[in-house]
Structure 1
């Protein structure tokens, strides 16, 4: 079975996904008028305005932290380590490139999720790829297919990835049995997921920034301690990305293809841009200013935080330690722990284990929220089904702490690719709408006014929107009151 999934991965990632991700990133970079480069400098202003509470949904900051709760997990620790093992230091360069391009893709999918959101029976905003596929493209069957794949990925496989990393980290640090680690993570996650979307969002808005700051600060301090190695490491990353390091040494080493594929694979698992997961959180926000592009920009910043900052922090630790051969460890998280121990001392294994535990906890919780959100789209969110999903989530967390790592990552890669293929196809078909959203937002910013989306200006789009999702009169009143 592992050989079968390995073969499928080679086909999907070798012949389809790399070109699709790069193509979509370049396409939306152009269609959005290079919005990730033009508005990254306004990141602080966007984050400041994102904490403004609005009726009917989460704040934009809560939605951002919720999405980061899923993004910042084992992909930022074990995933980065495995990328360096599989593709060499050059994989880090391609992770950076994938992030910069994927910021535009994230803007596109999250803006569409905001545009096509609707209210549930509790008046909470709901949306995501399934919704914009059904409403924007009129292809509900395709939205159903996406929801089913997402339920498999986020309800089952991705949680096993998180649990496996935690089990390995805790066993390496304190010799804790995998079953005990899995049971603890499952129980902790269950205590939170029963609180629902709003309860999870309130927790994530303070927990995620604290965890990310702790990890990045630790890496930064160690990097500054070894500041003299920075020029050599940066040069190694760039040379390895294009095969120059191996060519200069007269060895085969890592190929450009290995570095590029590993970088894009693990970069996508880390920041999830283009995969269609983050829009589920983005749609839940009552965006401020009241424009779909505003939430797209906030979530775009999330890609930068996740990959350029948090994942780079992990990569620097591995490269500073200098031991990333395939023989060093069969577990990415243990490779991170070994790197920290070699740079500091034995205590570091426990620190990484605790960070891994809480990163996995936030990921499992938000993964469940994404899965439950798509139960709502499938109109299968009865009380019984919701509790079955919760039960299945905790069972798979326990299972993930016991089964083998290669099988988990291969399944994750296959499902990740399937989700991305469906989602990227949809947003590419909806790219004229993305262009309208971006142009409308940039036009109003250029005029120096607070952007307000008035769908009446675009009758074709207005007919596709859910009733009450964009209340034109109240939006304009709120805008005038806050100007």
Structure 2
């Protein structure tokens, strides 16, 4: 598993985790923001009116209303990215990562406006009478680049597993296990059955479920976040100040957090921001293509609201809850994961008072700037305690109070380590104190509120609703891609594999799943961004035609 994660991490470092990918994403959003004269600001109130159905017309063709399309798209984006993804971004990049998530969302509002408009404009009606759309259709029908359309559709199928399936159910199952003690595979089995019931009903049933789930889950989570923020209100000014001060300098070591460079905070913030709102990925346009309207730009208007709701509102609330509660820099008892664990060949002290500057050395090691020597050999373990002179790094922090268990009992014997990696064996468990990340970190933050320990139930329920709705929406994205690639008859087989994978993902390694999601996101995003940049003039012409129609039909000027 460690070797697989290393290979996936290497691949991700050249695409999704690279600077050029982040630059392409942000610069595309910046370009269209300037090219279209800040549509995310100018058209914001108009977008709300469109969602309300103020400009609906009798002869509009499609499968869902504007609100249902928005709810389906939001259910695809409001998921683990808002709960686990924000926590992971701050864990990796410090407070400044939250700022870069918000910046990504601001420009992402324009990117989503463009990709949804163009995808809706070139959508098609399938043999069964339903609408099919997405970037693959403008690539085929307008750009005449079938090869790019096929590449995007294949990436969409892969991403439906890497984004909407595996990380979602894994976060649900981990949170339910941590909160209620229910085994991951039991949660996975129950949810897989429910998922099958919903997705077999197609877009109509999906839309009906998501339009009810999205508002309910948003209210529940909003209350939970406010309970944490208000309970720790005295820390809010300091948290905001920390975000502002770290934007261009990175975050220095504080508590158990060993620091993060500017480059890392920037990269992880943008990367997690994309995972959260999917602006530029080309996924949401598939949901919006089903909306009833003959004006593609009107559906693009609706899409402007998505990154705002998803990232600027919900992710910001999560981030402030994490920062104000201070859990992001605290070491807590947890069970170590192999892929988050590393053994260094010397004992280091991460306390600020240490005279050997070990903290600085560890910080440089964590950031990847100056690697420390890793341990190879056998670790001596007596009654669960490691006696060898080494340092265990877990979740980017120095592990403390480490206990080794085998089949539930304190282990005595030897542990093989190769180049810092513990050679895992069946029924081996290593526990101790370290930083934590993803959903468990958010769950911990929610216990520092007026709800006390009951706060973690809000995260579990919120995560269940958020992530399950995301899995539902992504199944639709995948089946539209399969329809494009192999026809409608292939969809039933895809749905079967999707449901089985949903079950398996409930107990798979989370680190590998998150790494995989980063790769699949990039594989969708790159051809989509290239496509909308080529069609920039088409977008501007469509916008002008839209306002001509609005003025003639409703007497409204831009």
Relative to the length of structure 2, the TM-score reads: 0.76
Check 1:300–1:330 CA distance in 2 against 1; reply closer, same or farther (3 A cut): same
In the aligned structure 1, how far is the partner of 2:134 from the partner of 2:190? 31
Shift of 1:229: 2.7
Q: Hey, what does 1:56 align to over in structure 2?
A: 62
User: Given that residues 68 and 208 in structure 1 are in contact (C-alpha distance below 8 angstroms), is that contact kept between their aligned partners in structure 2?
Assistant: yes
Q: Partners of 2:484 and 2:150 in 1: how far apart?
A: 8
1:269 aligns with 2:275: yes
Give the equivalent residue in structure 1 for 2:292: 286
Which sits farther off after the overlay, 437-446 or 102-111? 437-446
CA distance in 1 between counterparts of 2:187 and 2:138 reads: 38
Distance 1:254 1:443, change over 3 A: farther
Residue number in structure 2 paired with 1:332: 438
Please say if residues 185 and 357 of structure 1, whose CA atoms lie closer than 8 Å, have aligned partners that are also in contact.
Answer: no
1:239 aligns with 2:245: yes
> Which aligned pairs between 1:329-368 and structure 2 lie closer than 5 A?
329-343=435-449, 344-368=451-475
Give how far 1:451 is off: 7.5
Distance 2:209 2:54 in 1: 16
Contact 2:119 2:286 in 1 (8 A): yes
Of 116, 123, 126, the residue aligned with 1:117 is 123
- Please state if 1:179 is matched with 2:185: yes
State the alpha-carbon separation in 2 of the partners of residues 369 and 252 from structure 1. Answer: 41
| Among candidates 126, 137, 159, match of residue 131 of structure 1 | 137
- 1:331 Cα deviation (Å)? 4.3
Matches within 5 A, 1:47-446: 47-49=51-53, 52=56, 54-155=60-161, 158-243=164-249, 246=252, 253-287=259-293, 290-325=294-329, 326=395, 327=397, 328-343=434-449, 344-382=451-489, 385-442=490-547
Q: Which moved more, 1:226-235 or 1:69-78?
A: 226-235
Deviations 1:94-137 (A, max 9, x none): 00000001111100100001110121223322110110100110
**TM-aligned CA distance change 1:407 to 1:247, over 3 Å:** closer
The 1:51/1:63 distance shift into structure 2, 3 A limit, reads farther
Distance 1:450 1:181, change over 3 A: farther
- Give the conservation status (yes or no) of the 8 Å contact 2:47–2:304: no
TM-score w.r.t. structure 1 length?
0.87
The answer to whether residue 140 in structure 2 is matched with residue 35 in structure 1 is no
Where 2:165 maps in the other structure, the secondary structure is helix
Residues 441 and 208 of structure 1, relative CA distance in 2, 3 Å threshold: same
Which protein is richer in strand relative to its size?
2
CA shift digits 1:331-374 (9 cap, x unpaired): 41000111111333221222211111111110111110111111
Cα distance 1:376–1:51, how it changes in 2: closer, same or farther (>3 A)? farther
The 3 A distance-change label for structure 1 pair 125 and 451 is farther
More helix per residue: 1
Unaligned runs of 5+ in 2: 330-394, 398-433
Stretch moving more, 46-55 or 34-43: 46-55
Which residue of structure 1 lines up, in the alignment, with residue 29 of structure 2?
25
Rg larger in structure: 2
Distance 2:275 2:195 in 1: 21
Aligned residues: 447
Q: CA RMSD in A?
A: 2.3
Q: Quickly say closer, same or farther: Cα 1:221–1:139, change in 2 above 3 A.
A: same
Q: C-alpha displacement at 1:315, in angstroms? A: 1.1
Q: List per-residue Cα deviations over 1:156-198 (Å, max 9, x = no partner).
A: 5531100110111001101110101111111111110011011
Instruction: Work out the CA distance in 2 between the residues paired with 1:244 and 1:83.
Output: 13
Q: What is the CA-CA distance between 1:218 and the residue it aligns to?
A: 2.2
List gaps (5 residues or longer) in structure 1.
Answer: 453-483
- In structure 2, C-alpha distance between the alignment counterparts of 1:275 and 1:146, rounded to whole Å: 10
| CA shift in 2, pair 1:152/1:361, >3 Å | same
User: For residues 248 and 190 of structure 1, what CA distance do their matches in structure 2 show?
Assistant: 46
| 1: CA distance, partners of 2:173 / 2:213 | 21
Could you report, residue by residue, the CA deviation over 1:23-52 in whole angstroms, capped at 9, with x for unpaired residues? 100111122221011112334323212795
Displacement after TM superposition at 1:8 (Å)? 2.0
CA–CA distance in structure 2, aligned partners of residues 447 and 336 of structure 1: 50
Contact 2:164 2:475 in 1 (8 A): no
Aligned partners of 1:441, 1:411: CA distance in 2, in Å? 39
